[in-house]
Structures are given as C-alpha cells and as structure tokens.
Chains A and B, each alone.
Chain A
Amino acid sequence: MYSFEQLAGQERNIRFLRGAIRQARWIHAYLFLGPEGTGKKTLALAFAKALNCLDQQAFQAGQACGMCRSCQKIEHGNHPDVHLFQPQGTALRIDQAREIRRLAELKPYEGRYKVFILDQAERLTAEAANSLLKLLEEPPDRCAFILLASDLGAMLPTVVSRCVTVRTQPVPTAQMEAILQERARADGRELDPGDVRVACALAEGSVGKARDLAEGRLAGLRQAALQFVLNVGRWSAADCLDFSAHWEDKREEAGLLIQLLQGIYHDLLWIKLASGLAQGYLLHPDQAPALAEAARTLSLDAILQSLQLCRWVERQLDRNLSVRLALDVLLLDLRECFAGRDVPLVATEYEGG
C-alpha cells in the first residue's frame, strides 16, 4: 500500500505534486523520468490516489488516505477511472492509443478525475505517440496523463514538450538503509544492519527492492556466501559440489549468491589494497576481522581472478546456462583460486571471440 507518505526518497517530487493538487494547479500531462526501479509507477499511482481520494480532508491537503474505496481500488488495479497501459509485447501500440482516446472522451465513471498512466512511454510507436499529441495538448475535462519513461532520448520531442517533467532519482544507499531500519522499528522488528547494508547495495536505488531483499531471502544467502569464501580453503571438491546443489533450479537466488560473492571478494580487494583504511568502504563491515584474515592468506592475483570468474559466470547465467552447472564450475574454480593455483580463464577466450 503506497501513498505519498510511504514513498521514500522522493520527498522533492512528492512536495511538488502535493502542492500542485492542493492549489488545484496540477497539470494534465506529466512525464515521470528516471531509471528503472526508482518508483515512477508507484509515484504515479500515489498521484492518482491523491486526485481521487474520497477523504475530503486528505484530498484538500493533496494527500491520499489509503483507506477509502477509491484508494483501495487503485491499489488493486480495479479503479474504473485509473488506467495503466503497458507495452503489448515490445511497444505501446496504436490500438492502445485509440483506446486511450476513446476512454478520455468519456466522463469519469465514479472518480473525480480519469488518470491514464503510460508505462514505458518511450516504447510508444511513432504512430501511437502522434495520435496522442492532440489529447496531450488539449485534454478533455477531468483527465490526467502520466507518462513513465527511463530513456528521454527515445521519446518524441513533441510528446515531451507537452508534459511537465518530474525526475525520479535512485535513492542513495545510506538513505535507503535509514529508511529500512526506521520502518522495521515502526513495525517492532529488528533487521540485521549487515543484511540491510548489503540489501541496499544490491537494490540499485529502489527502496522497494531493498526492502524485499532485506526482509526476504537475503539474510540466508549472505551467510552462505560468507561461509563459502571464509571456509573454502578447508573444503574438499565434494563439499563445493554439495554446496552448489542447494541452488539447483533456483536461478534468481543463484544470481544473488554470485552477486554476494562478488561483494565479498570486492571487500577482500579493499582490505588487500588499503588494509586499515578499507573499513569505511566495506560491504560487510561486520565481518571485517574474518575478512582481514582471509585477505592475508590470499594473493592479489587470486582475488582479482575470483572476481573475474564471478562476473563471467554471472553473465553465463543470463544466457540461460544450467544453474547447477554454472555454480559447480564457479565454486570449484574459486576453490582452486583460493589454493593459489592458476585457473585458466576460459572466460577471456570466449569473450574475446
């Protein structure tokens, strides 16, 4: 459930949009521009809720109560006046544009305003975009258009010029950590600061993604990855294969595990290069003593090679390689690296070719 209050890291945009609603000076066409995962759609839905909130007090304040029928329907994607259009296949097509034009001519079914949200608006075909120009320029009464895009260059300038641009930014990692901890405390829970730090680092600026990670499977995976790197020196090849078997058919989690391994080797690299100065830059500061110990036994070459191996296997996973096979190879190779043996990097040969 999102309303403006709960949209973390977007304070500036929220202030701007709320003020616009409060003073009844909002514009009929907005372009929300920002990288994937920075809350564009969430912001658009929160705007739609605020425009249609049945709680008069909340509406006058430019807010959404989040409790009324209207807010609930928008949350469930069932509000007859709030339309979310997403690309059909690869593009937002002319048929969808026609449907938008048809719907825009109708009066709101039950809400105050009709809100049209066009997700990935850079994927509007030229035809579709052109057919919407008139609507964006002179929309019928009680209509709001919100275009969401991450690539300004792919949009028609004639469309962009008809919209007020609102930029969404990735939320800085430090701020995300604070938000996550604050919310957990509000719910009376305690999150492991180490997990939160890693979750925020992996979330690419999206609070929602960080929260899912921190409250979900991340904790177990982080412990597993640490356990592997810190102990692999004492493991047999069979231990490595047993470990790998956990992730059979769990592509997403295996991908996360590899990202976590990279993070740990990255920490080792910091310690190796900067030793005492590294502390502030570590992804896993809570494990600093153990990591320092591991860094001492590893050569710089071994660390660099491990990082390269992780990156290569990560790419192979995207290419639909068997998860089990990829992890088997990676873990065995990392073990070899740890033992100081040189692992021929098949990767560079393939990548070069």
Chain B
Amino acid sequence: MFFRCEREPFLQAIQAAQRAVSSRTTLPILSGLLLNLEDGTLTVTGTDLDLGIETQFGVEQKEPGAMVLDARALADIVRRLPDRQVELSLDAATHLARITSGPAHFEIHSLDAADYPALPDPGEGLQWSVSYPVLRQLIRFTTFAAANDDTRASLNGALLELEDGEAHMVATDSYRLALFVQPQGAATSVKALIPAQTLQEVAKLLVDVPEAQAQITLGKSHALFQLGSTRVVTRLIDATFPNYRQIIPASFVTETVVDRLALQSALERASLLSRGGAVIVKMEISADQLQISASVPDEGDYREALPAQSTGEDLEVAFNARYLLDALRVIPNAAVRLRCTGSRSASLLMPEGPLAGGPATATSPAPDAARQQGDAPAAPEEAGGASAESASGGRFVYMVMPVMYR
C-alpha cells in the first residue's frame, strides 16, 4: 500500500471516521481506523460495532492495499504534519506504516486489515432522501430528550416514522418527550428506532450545504445514511418505542405565551441555586404574568415575575428547570406557548406561531412569532442571514411532566 495525498482532506476523513471509534473497546482492532486503497480512492473506516462511519476521497495511488492504524495516533500525527502533502506506505514484512510529509518522517505500527470487521449491510430497505437542513432539524429538536442509560434500550433512541407524507422524529426518557414533525416525508410508511448518539454524530457530519441531500436507507436491523462521500451505518434498536401519540394531550386548562429568551434566562438564574443538581421551579400562571420561584433547602430561594398572556384558569405547576431549558435552547422563536392540563399532568411547550429558522443557522424570527410578543426584543443570536430551515415548515412539540413541589 502506497499513496500520496493532500493533508487537509485526509485529516477531515480521519476525523469523520474517528467519531465512530469508541475510547473503551474490548477489541484492540476497533481502536484503529481502516485505510483501504483501491482504484485511486482511499476509504477511511471507523466503527464501534454499533455505529460505523466510512468516508472516501481521491488520492494519488501508487500501490493498492489496506491497513489499520491507531485512530488517535493517526489523527494527532496528521494534524501536526509540517507539509501540505502526505505520503503513506506500508511495509508488508514489518507491518510498519511510514508517514512522510516534507522533512518529517514517522514509522508507526499497523494492525492486520484482515482483522477489521466489515460494516454491516443494511440490505434492502426503504430509501428516503432528505435535505441536510431538514435532517439536522429532526435530529436537533428531538435527540436531546432521549434517555442515556443502558437499562431501557427503547428510550435510548429516537423513533423515525415516515407516514402519510410526513416524517416524525420523537425521543423520550419517560419524563419528557420531544416530537418533531416534518411535512416532507416519504410516501411509504416505515418506522425505525435509531440510537440517539448515532443521530447526534450524523448531525455533526451535516456540513452546511443547503441543497445537499442525505440518502437514508432503513433496513431491517441497520440504517445507512449516505452523506455525500461519507456513509454512516448504524444498528437499529430492537425494541418497541412507547406509543406516544395517545399520550400527547389535546385539551388544556391553562395556556400562556411568554418571551422565550426571558423565560430561558429566568430558568437559568433559578438553576444557579443548585450546583449541577436539578432545580424544581414553581410556576404560578395568572392572566398577565408568570411568577417563577424556586427554593432549594440549605441553598436559598429565588423568585421572578415575567409578563405573559394567559388564557384559562390560574394554575400552579412545578417543573424540573433542566427539562424546560433543554427545549427552550433549541426553539428559535421569540415566544413560546406553554399549555398545561393541570398541576399533575403533562404540559406542552411549543414555539408560538410557525417554527422560525434555527439559531444554529441564524435567521430573524418569523413575523408571526414577533407579532405575538409585543415587548420582546429580537434575540441577538437570531439576528443574521436567512436560512433554508425557516421555510421547512416543521412542527415542534415538547411534552414535559410536572413534578410535586416541596
């Protein structure tokens, strides 16, 4: 194996594939990246057996071949090479890989490429083509709500449902649930429970190319995301996701509209009462104000009143501040609507009006949202150019369970 290439694309490929390499693996070979050179194309592969990432780019091939190099060592070396050109060769007899760039010369040990596990083939499955911004939205608005423990496999993933021309993505940890509905689904109907961590890695690989399309193949036990020259293969979670449709309430006793940024910063202030721990905030909703208070034993008390426009009964309800903040941080709109069914049953938090463009791709708030909120200043992070996301017409619903207030 022998090739020459530019350092930058090589480093990018290594860093992409490295996302799938787990730091704590029991198989030595999985701490490495597979470099496979064929027909002038170098394929860099990383996997932890649950998730595999494979990315390709063209190189000046002198001799085809394959080898496995330690992922972290390779990334560190290539990042610090002095020259823009990199030359890499493998001595088949000694299993030493030689990396040369300008005056610098490395020889590092390689592992046997034949030991590297092949990425699974998702097989025949439903194909869905979706634009990068839309896919990123689906992921960003839902995966944060997934559980992060090994005991409840079905809650560690986000459910992707394609049905009736709509795409639904939903995740829950049983205390809160995030649902994003995208009107540009596929015609057929299919369900797949995808590990949330995988989706977050996919989102990181979705570089800003508005017109780019991701090709998603949903197989029986695996899913494939084709993102340009990068392939992400993930195991699907083999468990039943709770039936979320019937638990989302449809009628409410109290509804209030409040400035999103004001609410977010108020809850962040309340969270200061406890270092790291969860703070329970009590919300007293009345016709024109939202009174927020928190009390942490041995630490102190907090209270703040925000202007709000409410309908329905006055209500006292308490939440874990972190759960509300998680959702407020992804909602781009200037105002949010909180719809409560009572102090002991689920509430919904949603953007007021159609979903504005995401803060990540910076856009001005949607006109409807701004109109609802008379005194709300435009959020600074939302100022800036327009994005394709504002036109996507997605719908975000966040359901959160109240807690007992002590």
Which A positions have Cβ atoms within 8 angstroms of B?
69, 72-73, 76-80, 83-85, 98-99, 102, 105-107, 109-110
B118 partner residues in chain A, CB cutoff 8 A = 110
Proximity string of chain B (203-239) to chain A, C-beta cutoff 8 Å, 1 when within and 0 when not: 0000000000000000001000000000000010010
Best-surrounded residue of A80, A107, A110 (most CB of chain B within 10 A): A80
Contact sample, A vs B, 10 pairs, CB 8 Å cutoff = A76-B29, A77-B28, A78-B27, A78-B30, A78-B116, A85-B26, A98-B150, A102-B153, A109-B49, A109-B120
A72 touches B115 (CB 8 A): yes
> Which listed residue, A69, A84, A107, A110, touches B26 by the CB 8 Å rule?
A84
| Chain A neighbourhood of B120, CB < 8 A | 109
As a 0/1 sequence over residues 115 to 153 of chain B, the CB contacts with chain A under 8 angstroms (1 = contact) are 111101000000000000000000000000000001101
Taking a contact as CB atoms under 8 Å apart, the answer to whether B150 and A107 are in contact is no
Report A-chain residues with C-beta under 8 Å of the C-beta of B116: 78
**Which residue of chain A has its CB nearest to the CB of B238?**
A105
Interfacial residues, chain B to chain A (CB-CB below 8 A)? 26-30, 49, 112, 114-118, 120, 150-151, 153, 221, 235, 238
**Distance A77 CA – B25 CA, assembled complex (angstroms):** 12
CA distance A102 to B27 in the complex (A): 16
B153 touches A83 (CB 8 A): no
CA distance A110 to B117 in the complex (A): 8
Complex Cα distance A98/B120, Å? Answer: 24
Of all chain B residues, the one with the shortest Cβ separation from A83 is: B26
Nearest chain B CB to A278 CB, angstrom units = 51
Closest B residue to A76 by CB, please name it. B115
Q: Which residues of chain A are near B117, meaning CB under 8 Å? A: 80, 109-110
**Distance A76 CA – B28 CA, assembled complex (angstroms):** 9
Contact A107 B221 (CB under 8 A): yes
B153 proximity list for chain A (CB < 8 A)? 102, 105
What's the least CB distance linking A317 to chain B, in Å? 33
Bound complex: CA A73 to CA B116 (Å) = 9
B residues in contact with A102, CB < 8 Å: 150, 153
Q: Determine whether the beta carbon of B238 is less than 8 Å from that of A69.
A: no
User: B27 and A79: CB pair below 8 A?
Assistant: yes
Interface of B is mostly: loop
Q: A109-B120, A110-B118 are in contact. Are A77 and B150 (CB under 8 A)?
A: no
Complex CA–CA separation, A99 to B116 (angstroms): 22
Contact A80-B27, Cβ < 8 Å, known A105-B238, A106-B235: yes
Residues of chain A contacted by B26 (CB below 8 angstroms):
83-85
Q: Which residue of A lies closest to B149 (CB)?
A: A98
Give A233 to B28 CA distance when docked, in angstroms: 54
The CA of A110 and the CA of B116, in the complex, are separated in Å by: 11
When distances are taken between beta carbons in the complex, the residues of chain A under 8 Å from B221 are 107
- What residues of chain B lie closer than 8 Å to A79, measured between beta carbons? 27
A84 to B26, CA, bound (A): 8
Residues of A within 8 A of B114 (CB): 69, 72
Q: How far is the CA of A93 from the CA of B128 in the complex (A)?
A: 43
Are A78 and B150 touching (Cβ within 8 A)? Answer: no
Shortest A178–chain B CB gap in Å is: 35
Contact partners of B28 in chain A: CB under 8 A: 76-78
A77 contacts which of B27, B49, B151 (Cβ < 8 Å)?
B27
A79 to B49, CA, bound (A): 11
Residues of chain B lying within 8 A (CB to CB) of residue A99? 150
Closest to B114 in A: A69
From A85, which residue of chain B is reached at the shortest CB distance?
B26
Q: Contact at B49–A80, with CB atoms within 8 Å?
A: yes
The distance from the CB of B56 to the nearest CB of chain A, in whole angstroms, is 22
Q: Which residues of B contact A106 (CB under 8 A)?
A: 235, 238
Nearest Cβ on chain A to B71's Cβ, whole angstroms: 15
A77 to chain B, nearest CB (A): 6
Query: B112 — which chain A residues lie within 8 A by C-beta?
Result: 72, 76
Contacts of A110 in B (CB 8 A): 117-118
* Cα separation A84 to B153 with both chains bound (whole Å): 23
Complex A-B, nearest 10 residue pairs according to Cβ-Cβ distance, in ascending order = A78-B29, A78-B115, A80-B117, A78-B27, A73-B115, A98-B150, A80-B49, A76-B115, A102-B150, A109-B49
Would you give the shortest CB distance from B138 to chain A, in whole angstroms? 25
A285 to chain B, nearest CB (A): 44
In angstroms, Cα B120 to Cα A73, docked, is 17
CA distance A109 to B120 in the complex (A): 8
From residue A153, how far is it (CB to closest CB) to chain B in Å?
29
Q: A43 vs B115: C-alpha distance in the bound complex, in angstroms?
A: 22
Chain B residues, CB < 8 A from A109: 49, 117, 120
In angstroms, Cα B115 to Cα A69, docked, is 7
**Which partner residue on chain B sits nearest A109 by CB separation?**
B49
A350–B321 Cα distance when bound, in Å, is: 66
- In angstroms, Cα B30 to Cα A109, docked, is 14
Q: Quote the shortest CB–CB distance from B123 to chain A (angstroms).
A: 13
- Most central of A78, A99, A110 by chain B CB within 10 Å: A78
Q: How far is the CA of A261 from the CA of B115 in the complex (A)?
A: 45
Closest to A69 in B: B114
* Complex Cα spacing A78 to B27, Å: 5
> In the complex, given contacts A69-B114, A76-B115, what are 16 additional A-B residue pairs having Cβ atoms less than 8 angstroms apart?
A72-B115, A73-B115, A76-B28, A76-B112, A77-B28, A78-B27, A78-B30, A80-B49, A83-B26, A98-B151, A99-B150, A102-B153, A105-B238, A107-B221, A109-B117, A110-B118
Measured CA separation A204–B26 after assembly (Å): 30
Q: What residue in chain A is nearest B29 (Cβ atoms)?
A: A78
